[in-house]
Structures are given as structure tokens and as C-alpha cells.
Chains A and B, each alone.
Chain A
Amino acid sequence: MTSLTHLQRLEAESIQIMREVVAETENPVMLYSVGKDSAVMLHLARKAFAPSPPPFPLLHVDTRWKFQAMYDFRDKMAEDIGMDLIVHINPEGVEKDINPFTHGSAIHTDVMKTEGLKQALDKYGFDAAFGGARRDEEKSRAKERVFSFRTAQHRWDPKNQRPELWKLYNTRKHPKESIRVFPLSNWTELDIWQYIHLQNIPIVPLYYAAERPVVERDGALIMVDDDRMPLEPGEVPMMRKVRFRTLGCYPLTGAVESEADTLPAIIQEMLLTKTSERQGRVIDHDSSASMEKKKQEGYF
């Protein structure tokens, strides 16, 4: 008798979910955030549809403030895998030059990420979007379905979601409704790292510790990724050995001091340290139960 490991089972489940979406929706897309979860999700998509490249494009909703290393990595990945990469930037955001400094993280994220995503989905008429969210990321995600239905205005009504039994997913929807699909729902952070390690999945170098120019903002270490970062008078960034546990917009993502410059070291650090993944991201501090609020508003 052959035993399957937990990662093999998780992998098979995610592949099954992706194939269901492609079989039953008209115009799917995979949201690509360039982070480690996206990397795993992309790898799974390749496995699901091989030998063809996955039959949907990648969509990056770009806020214009990601780390440069992320942009470099993103472009290379798309090229290497041979998938169409759609980069969408909210044009109103550009016009008004929305940014985290002038407008604060709440508005910046709202306009560039939340509205940007809605715009992109409307513009290209995608009726299903893969996202890399996991149930263990945050309390409010524990009850999230694998298939999450959104209204034509991209709102999530907690009372309007469907029960998911066995491996059956009801994908039927009305015109203009769309589905968000989370193939990584049952993966934990540790599973993700283990899988990256075992499968040698390339990830953005920022996850690995290296000396980087950082400044301190409200107790968080923010990297000076380019010359748009406003510095205080007299401020001189320090080169410190840091890494990122989560990636987002660089002015909103805190680094941690670390020596972990290999994958096993990262995993080791992750297991021994005990601060939740999202702690690095400034957004979640804005209001309590903020993730749930954001989901109701259409932000993933």
C-alpha cells in the first residue's frame, strides 16, 4: 500500500480545485502577488495543466510601490513559464499620485489594491480569480470557503456563501457575479515553506537575509528601496542584515533582523520565532477585524 504524505495530499487537492475552475468557468485568471504563496500557487498551476502552460493569464495588481526586487522577479517568472502577465495599475491612482506617505496606508491600499483589483476584474471580464490566501493566515479566514462568491460589485456577503461537501464545488453563478478561488486554503505557513524547499521553487530574494538599507518608522524597519522614500532631515539609512517574512508595498512592509540566508534557516527561524506573519504588514493595525472588513469591501 502506498502512503501519501501530507504535502502530496495538499498538492493533489489544490490541483483538483484548479482543474475544476478551468473546466467550469469562462474566463479565469490567477492573481499573482509575487510572494511566496503566489510562487507555490503558480507551481501548482503548472503541475495541474502540464504539459500545457496554465490556460489563464497572471494578473498583478500593481500599486507602484512594490520592492524593485519583486518587479524584477515577476517579469522573469512570467517569461520563464510562458504565461501572459497582465499588470494593472489604477489609472486614477496614478493621476492623483496616490502613495502611502501622502495618503496613508489605508487609502493607498484601498485605491491601488482594492479598487485596482475590481477595475482589472471588470476590465477583462474575469469570472473566476485564483488567490493565494490560506485559512491559517488570520482568524476571519478560518471559515472562508475555497470558492467564495462575489456580487457584481465585488462584495462578499457572509450570509451568501455555499456549503462545500466532499470534493464537490458548486460553480454556478449569475452573469456579472464572480468567484474567488483559494486553492491553498488548507495549507499552513509551514507547509508552504516546506513545499518551496522540497520542490526548489524560486522565491523573491527578499525572503532571505541580506544587508539592506533600512530606516526605522514606528518601531518597524522599512527598507529604502528607491529614492521615493522620504527621509527625515539628517536621516541616514543603516545597512542591516534583514529579511522579510511577508512582501507588500515596501513603505508598508517591515523587515526583521535575521541571519537566515538559506531556506532551512528561514524555516528554522520561522519555527522558533513567534510573531505572526501579518505582523510585518502595517495595514492590519489600522483597525481591528480589518481583514474581514476588507473582504467585505472587495479587497481579497
Chain B
Amino acid sequence: MSTKHLSPEVLSERRKKAVRLRLDGHTVAVASQQTGLSAPTVSAAWKAFREGGWAAVPVKPRGRSKGQGNTLSAAAQALLWDGLYAPAPRRMPGWSSAALADLANERLGLRLTQRAIEHWWETEELKHYPWALAALAKKRTLAGRWFDKAVAPAFLRCQNAEQRWQGGVRRVAHAHRALYQIYLHGVRGKLYMRCFEHPPTACDYQTMLSRLTQPAVVVFHGAMFSANQELAEWLASQTSLTVVAVPADLGLEHR
């Protein structure tokens, strides 16, 4: 019964119907049931009618029309892309929206909000939503059993939220670019990323991982570190850094 996604036209029609039912003497509950609107919405529509008549019942369309959103200029976008394909600022495992905003400010004098950059990420298919890992604990599914066996023990060693990372590597199907992306989520799901024109190399992964403050645990999807001998050896030598590979086809759900 979610009415969140109804168009303003449909919503308005239902509100008017709710008012007509109330005029016929039906209760809020009945009107709610008949129109599919929630009781508060029915009441609000009824109140609007009592105060302003029929004209006050329909809703005004919300939000900006298509094409009116605050889009970034071509120059800004070009800069952001250049940044993403270049190494992240020192000590950071990847570019955060804040870091990119700083870059825009430095180079072009632009004041871009983090939010604007994150919206831009969405339009360019760069956004990634973190997985609901903690929710897997004790579940009787394949993912749950993996979590208990492989992730939970590592999490025990890193109790602090700042020490727990998740991320992965993927190819993004972009219309104009060869785009491979390493994404990382830190505390509260904060997203860091870095883009590449070719699949990232062992060096790229190592750089990223070494910038994580240790001790740390990283649940990582999409790369077969074990196939690269040097990387595997380096990982083995990092006593306070644990990488837990997400098994193929596990089907993790996003938060």
C-alpha cells in the first residue's frame, strides 16, 4: 500500500475520492481502505477541503522537473574524472566525495558540495551501496554461514567500526569510458573509490590496502588476490591486516 511512488495526478485523484467518501459520511478508516491512502493522508485531505474547498485538495507536484537539477559543468566533470583516474590524496585509500570537492575547489575554485558529487556519482553509475554484513550473523543461509566462519572471527579482532572495511572491484559499463573501479566503504558506509582504465594491478591493490590504518579487516569482492604471488605474499606478511575474500556468487544484499 505504498503511495510513495504515485504520480501527483493519481495521488490527487485519490485524495479527491477520499474527500467524497468523507462527505458521504464514511469514516476515515473506510476512506483509507477504499482509496489506498493512509489515514493521516485522508485526514489531511479532508482538512484541506474544510479550509480551502476542492481547489485545496490536489497535491502540487514535488521536486524539480527533469533537466532542472543542478548539473555540474563540463569542466568540473572533466576534472573529477581526471582526479578519479589519478592516485588518491596521500594516506587515503581512495577518493571520497569530500576529497573530490577539495580538488574542485583547489583547481577550479568551485564550491561543490559532497552531496552534489555524490549525485554526480549516481548519474555516472559510480555509486555503490555497502552490504549488510552484520545482519548475516547467525543466519542459516550460505552467506550467513560464510559470515560466521570467515568474517566474524576477523571482526572480533577489529572491534572498532573504523577498523572494519568492505569493498570490491568491478567493471562499470560506461558508455564512453573504459572504467574499472575499486570501491571501499569505511565507517558508516563512507565511500572511497578509484578508477582505472585497465583492471587494477597488484600494485594498485597493495597501495590501496597499505593506506588503511592497521589493524584493519577488509571484506573484499571481485578480485583473486591469491593468483598473484607477490600480492599474496605481501598480504601474508601483514599481520594486522586481514583480507576476507567474498566467495563467488554469494549474493550479498545491500543495505
Contact = CB atoms under 8 A, between A and B. Distances in A.
Please tell me whether chains A and B touch each other in their complex, using a CB distance cut-off of 8 A: yes
Interface of A: 210-213, 215-216, 224, 227, 231, 234-241, 257
B248 A239 contact: yes
Contacts of A227: 227
Contacts, number: 59
A190 B76 CA distance: 48
A227 B227 CA distance: 8
A236 B231 contact: yes
Contacts of B198: 216
Interface of B: 169-171, 173, 180, 198-203, 205, 221-225, 227-228, 230-231, 248-249
A76 B200 CA distance: 38
Given A216-B199, A231-B228, A236 B205 contact: yes
Nearest to B171: A240
B222 A239 contact: yes
Contacts of A234: 201-203, 228, 230
A215 B199 contact: yes
A257 B230 CA distance: 28
The CB with the most chain B CB atoms within 10 A, among A215, A224, A236, is that of A236
Contacts of B230: 234
A235 B230 CA distance: 10
Given A213-B227, A231-B228, A236 B201 contact: yes
Contacts of A257: 171, 173
The winner among A213, A227, A234, A239 for most chain B CB atoms within 10 A is A239
A224 B199 CA distance: 14
Contact of A238 (B173, B199, B202, B231): B199
Contacts of B223: 236-239
Nearest to A227: B227
A150 to B, nearest CB: 43
9 contacts: A224-B224, A235-B199, A235-B228, A236-B200, A236-B201, A237-B224, A239-B221, A240-B171, A240-B222
